[in-house]
Structure 1
């Protein structure tokens, strides 16, 4: 094995891929937590608006993440099989398409924010705040599209550190501007929630500029301005083949969360605020597990592209074992210190009591979520995205949403009942993904194809050393 091949292989080890993703996710979540913590100093109504708006934005993100996610997996596969030029073309096409989608979303959110908020049953008292926040942050949705695509592309080349560094800088700017606008510090105007929205857009703009600079040098052949005209219909079909089920699955998850938010809105502002605070704390709980799941997706896609199917198969189980330990410990720590942590966000004892009850259930939720993330992402890395889509749609709408209404609203179990249904959904999807991975359908198909291609050809001396 040449020095160049060893360096390429080392880029795709689980640890080297996972820890920068973890830092990046941690800082992104910190950005969200800082938003919630600082906005809570304005009012619980403002917190409810930010929580609802962010859920809405995540739902809309699936429109461009369909392309970005499919492109990311395909880029890792192409690089694994030594087709760097194809990977570069895929990256450019993904960027162009997602920017167009982002522009359309920005215009819509800027023009009719109040109507959108009212459509999802947000209470009348929250509509003025929602109108301000959605118009400003939603108006910058094109920046979110660019950031998501550029980060995904760069990470799937094996360079997970660059997005991490940018996340650090973005958080520093965001925290500074949040403090300045909310409290009127350093000569800034005291603009409250409007200031938080402006801070979000400005920090994302700066991050996008840096990501573009890194993007143009992400491949062996530097990307020039004229290259943005590139389009390859065959490769784009490959992206869509992997990407559209991912997009449907992601949109299904986020839209079910939006529906569940409408259930919470029916229950009351306290339940909506409690769930928003819990989302923040829960995110810190599972983010290391999620970073492992994202890392193993990149690793398995690269191994699969290189034809190293046995290593790809075992990598999923190793990532799952590590992830289960991590999320279980995190969930336990969160439960032990839960009341104190919730007290940082609000002094409302009813909201704190609701949050603490959810933290107990979180001990059960997190292992199921890790099972679902690790095995689902592993299947996606092979291109088996239709399976995860079908399982996701059925489970999320029938269990996480439909059963949530029956148990939480109709039977009167409230927020705890809704949370129990969300737990059941994670375990159903995770269990089915585990069964599918154990079946090795896509891996067997790849092995048969390799055997046919090498029939009558001397066996390769390819190294069988494992990637860890």
Structure 2
């Protein structure tokens, strides 16, 4: 059994951090793919309905990132600087703050979900199933808020395998629930989209309970639960939001731009919406490696910044970037070679298979560009440079992605191909600018914590190894 975080010397490598994160994200993607695949056997319109509702949910999840985004970084920096008490205070404050955010946003989604869907220019036949899914999953979104925060805490303490195990369990429960409610197994009613929503909500709730138990087991001794009673945590909230608001702002801008692009695609018809959902579910596996490496690199860079090892942090980011570029490109080449076979798993519609295959080919260019942003932007945040990615992100997402999507996709009639070209340009321009920023080393003086003295640093409880 693993000991608690600060009771042992731990060697944390990129591989040790990344492989559980890789499995965790893979399982999350499989959960979404399971919903899509199982619903595709029920009705293509149901797939499109859930896809549009999840577009709104993705923006709501970004709101939880106001707190969660800063949690892992601040815990990692404080543990690297041997400031364990402050790391515990950050954990407690982040849990309380995101619980409040989650409850408030859930109320908004339940009562105003129909208004939000109406703004998406949704085809009439998709409105009812989309609203059902949004009210059930969105109304209980506080569960996802807490899962995100708990996962951020255990990752910050280095226990990345815990989040992986919980996600595995949620996947099993979600697939079982889908099977029961979509196909009417064991005499259950056939509920379609409502069944998928119920299955998703229940599996997440059980996962939340298990994560709480794991947190208690791993780091309960480090968490001062009474801290919130003693005083209002102004300083901790300030630090969390100093990272979280710009970081969430970037994600919010991205998801808002994707909603506008979804509006464009909705004018192309249900087949276009469905094709996009299928292709996104497929190519997600390509940037899976980049996402995992990006999160692992963020934790390592945070530790290294906390220890004052600036040179090691600089090279850690660049080494991780090359690994991510290679992995994402290789995976997309594999998917391209078998694109028709993979698409036929989801649909037998010739129009969807032909158009989806072309989009997968274009994704060979898209995914390496996305890797730049996942690795370098996470490293910049871990180092404290949180504002620059937001400024550049807003400019390129709206100035390139949305603008070119409308021009190429709608005005010039390229449809989804035009949408994909716009996203390729956005990811590469933004990614190269992030790399230029990292190499400028302007982030070196932006860490969120004060460095410890040399004598304090000698008393190490956590040894960081940056070899992958």
Question: Would you say same fold, with TM above 0.5?
Answer: yes
- Give the C-alpha shift of residue 125 in structure 1: 1.4
1:371 paired to 2:372: yes
Two-structure CA RMSD over aligned residues (Å): 2.3
DSSP 3-state at the match of 2:287: helix
Matches of 1:159 and 1:188 in 2, distance apart? 38
Is the 1:177–1:199 contact (alpha carbons within 8 Å) kept by the matching residues of 2?
A: yes
Q: TM-score, structure 2 length as denominator?
A: 0.93
Q: Counterparts in 2 of 1:313-352, with a 5 A limit? A: 313-352=314-353
Higher relative contact order (CA 8 A, sep 6+): 2
Q: Counterparts in 2 of 1:54-453, with a 5 A limit? A: 54-219=54-219, 221-223=221-223, 226-227=226-227, 229=229, 231-443=232-444
CA distance 1:5–1:169, shift in 2 (3 Å): closer
Unaligned 5+ runs, structure 1: none
Is the 2:114–2:131 contact (alpha carbons within 8 Å) kept by the matching residues of 1?
A: yes
Deviations, residues 181-236 of structure 1 (Å, cap 9, x unaligned): 11111232221111111000000000011111222344362547645546421122
Matches of 2:346 and 2:458 in 1, distance apart? 59
Moved more, 28-37 or 136-145: 136-145
- Give the C-alpha shift of residue 15 in structure 1: 0.3
Matches of 1:464 and 1:422 in 2, distance apart? 36
- Give the C-alpha shift of residue 467 in structure 1: 4.2
DSSP 3-state at the match of 1:109: helix
- Give the C-alpha shift of residue 355 in structure 1: 0.5
| Aligned equivalent of 1:16 | 16
Matches of 2:258 and 2:217 in 1, distance apart? 37
- Give the C-alpha shift of residue 115 in structure 1: 2.1
Matches of 2:19 and 2:301 in 1, distance apart? 17
Q: TM-score, structure 1 length as denominator?
A: 0.93
| Aligned equivalent of 2:28 | 28
Moved more, 150-159 or 227-236: 227-236
Count of residues in correspondence between the two structures? 459
Is the 2:81–2:457 contact (alpha carbons within 8 Å) kept by the matching residues of 1?
A: no
Matches of 2:258 and 2:78 in 1, distance apart? 34
DSSP 3-state at the match of 2:221: coil
Is the 1:84–1:219 contact (alpha carbons within 8 Å) kept by the matching residues of 2?
A: no
DSSP 3-state at the match of 1:285: coil
Unaligned 5+ runs, structure 2: none
Deviations, residues 328-385 of structure 1 (Å, cap 9, x unaligned): 1100111111111111111111011110000110111111111121111111110101
Is the 2:89–2:223 contact (alpha carbons within 8 Å) kept by the matching residues of 1?
A: no
DSSP 3-state at the match of 2:193: helix
- Give the C-alpha shift of residue 99 in structure 1: 0.8
